[in-house]
Structure 1
Amino acid sequence: MRASVQPVVIRRAVALGGLAAIVLLVVLLTGGGNAGSHTLYATVSDATNLIKGQELKAGGGKIGVIDDVRAIDGGAKARLTLSVEDRAWPLPKDTTFTARFGGTAAFYNRHILVTPGKEGGASLTEGADIPALDFRVPVEVDQLLSVFDTDVRRDLKSFVNRSGETLDRSQEPLRKTLDKTPQAITQAARVFEDLTDDRNALSLTLTKTDDVVDAVRRADPGLERLLTGAATTFSAIADKQTQLKTTVERLPGMLAQTRSTLTKAEGTLDDAGALATKLHPGVRQLRTIAAPLNDVLASVQTIAPDANATLATVRRSTPQVNTFLKRTTTLTPQIGSIADKAIENLNCIRPYTPELMGLLTTWGDFMSWSDTKDKYLRARVENFLPTPTNDVPQTPAQLKQTFPDLRYGFPRPPGYNAGQPWYIDECGAGKDAVDPSKDVEGAASFTNKIPTAAGGTK
């Protein structure tokens, strides 16, 4: 009987020992769980790809983990439970938390970057809710690209094409305009200075103009009588035309020496008679115009004070205008330089138009919940272990040697993706851009530093 029990006891002891070893290994690997940690909560509007177990990092080292991610308000928000280790506690109250991508080309495997606030002030308490302004989430790719729908992409393409042509055509006129603008502004400033130099003379001119307008208005009845008298005189001359002709014909005996002159005067008087006849209707029209002219002069008199006040306002504002014009004159060379650089930059952007439109077309609905017609669910259920570092210790040249088939281009020349690169040396996208050994980030000054578990570097 004892012989049969002993093997069973031995097997149980071995099993218990193995189980204890597994528990010890788990404890060692997980750092003993969350013992000695402190809990904080955060409510965010978007917790895309944030999962339980991802790390909280500060200074390049781990200081905690995400304990739980739970949807609230019907999925409109997410409630995060954060666990902070003893060695990083307490955190200043103005500490900020930022959800970061796993890497420059990784949308998943994220972590929370903790940026401690100022020391010496208030601290976050156990179980506190992190203020919404202190917890930041990144802008997702689909949020950015969903703005570029079909109409926006079409309009953007049209804008890029037309702006390039417009800037090419207007480059020279714009440069000439910017060159001449300082001279024009200087002359305008001098005009305003001249207007304000002799303020007494300007005020006297306005006063005399007002007096003249008033005198014309008051003299209106006399002007009407003058025109009426002129009309009567012309009418009388027209009536006496025949008598004047007879008198001239009877004068040859008395004025023999002036006969030839009077013969020529006869034709002149005939023309004068015809002119008087033609002027008669016009004089009647002048009488009709007199009344509206009176109203016009009255309006001029009414406007004169407003004009005087306007010029006074201009006189008071002249110092500020002069200051503005002088400042504009000083900034004109900088504006011209900015315009020149903008033209150069657009010339470097235009060759990338196919890549820009291809990106918007291909990635427009990436990670989106809608295809602009129907709502659907796209899910990828995975579990990611936190990445201790996102740095790559190898230079681009070393990676090219390790992976000979690796395509390389930084900055990538236009058309590189299609196998038809367009090298633009003046834009920094020449043949050196596809040579890993000439990558500026591979130089000694850009050597990557790998963070250690204690927060230092090696």
Structure 2
Amino acid sequence: MALGGTGPYRVHAVLPSAVNIVEGGSLLVNGFEAGRVSSIDVEDGQARVTMDLDRAYAPLHDGATVTIGWKAVLSERSVQITDGNASAPELPDGAMLTGSMPKATEVDDVLAALDAPTRDRLRSLVGNLDGALTGNEQNLNATLRTSGPAVSALGQVLQAVGTDGPAIRNLVTRLNSMMGTVAERDQQVRTVIDEVGRFSSEAAARRDQVRDTLGQLPPTLDRAKSTLDLVPGVVDEAVPLLDGLRPATEKLGPVARNLRPLLQDLRPLTADLRPTLGAAQDLLGRTPGLLDVAHDTVPGVTTTVGNLQDPLSVLRPMMPEVMAWTSHWGSSMANYDGNGNYARVYFQEGPTSVLDSPGVVPPGITYDPYPLPGASSGQEWGDAFGDGVR
């Protein structure tokens, strides 16, 4: 609920100091810009900060606090108000809030924590960077001009995905903690600076390559800006998709509970599979040896099959006679009488048996000195000699 009136909603806070807090600076309420710092006064050796809030964010509630955070790494600080519980009593216009200003770790404190050799190496690093950038000022300026729109597009992306004041406050808090950790780990920092120094020396030695790289950065940043411009629209379209997935995700809990008995029933099966897997592992261990033996054997088998082609081509025309002889031989001894099995022998004699002149063929006799294979059994094989279709 907003208070009545047209003027700003004013509150005060007493802080240990007001270093880098400026009049007219922005004021955040629960992460959103909601007003300005009206004035800063000295009162009993402390800073009394007066803040004017927009009526849309008024009134505050009992328990509201003021915290001074970082707006930039080395300059202005931001004034952040965290409102109390909405069910708490409302604070009147002109109320005094509890304020705190954590001591931040400055870059000067970090540099002062380094020993003399590390500072010398850092000085050498700066010199090497100066040498690497000498002559590349135009490319660097073009890169910085191009990076402006890209950074602006990145800011829109961060705003689209929900980045706000509390996230920035957490980032600053973690940065402060990181700087304290760096000050405590002097040896690791020295090692990092040594490595960066060697890298800078290498970059200075390859000045032409650095110049070409800087020359290619502006077009790359232009493409990055175009890509980042498309990201907010994609995020906006993804939100309805996530809302549509919510009913399905709510059903995952019952499905998981229904799967629990099935997984319990699968435990004996997995135990039974263990010997099978062991046997499979043993089989796979023997497979390389088997393949080696097969590799040595297959060439010999191939050679043997190749050598059999000529004998088989000779035997092929004779196969009908061989098969007819085998079938007739089995039937010749199939008859039996009261004395047992008996065989019949049929002798065919004719005029050609007594004539000693092959050129004279008696009437009713056909002379065929070269019958086709299978002719004797009534199954001529016309392609035995390769004249027909096989």
State TM-score, norm by structure 1. Answer: 0.27
Q: Which has the higher contact order (CA 8 A, sep 6+)?
A: 1
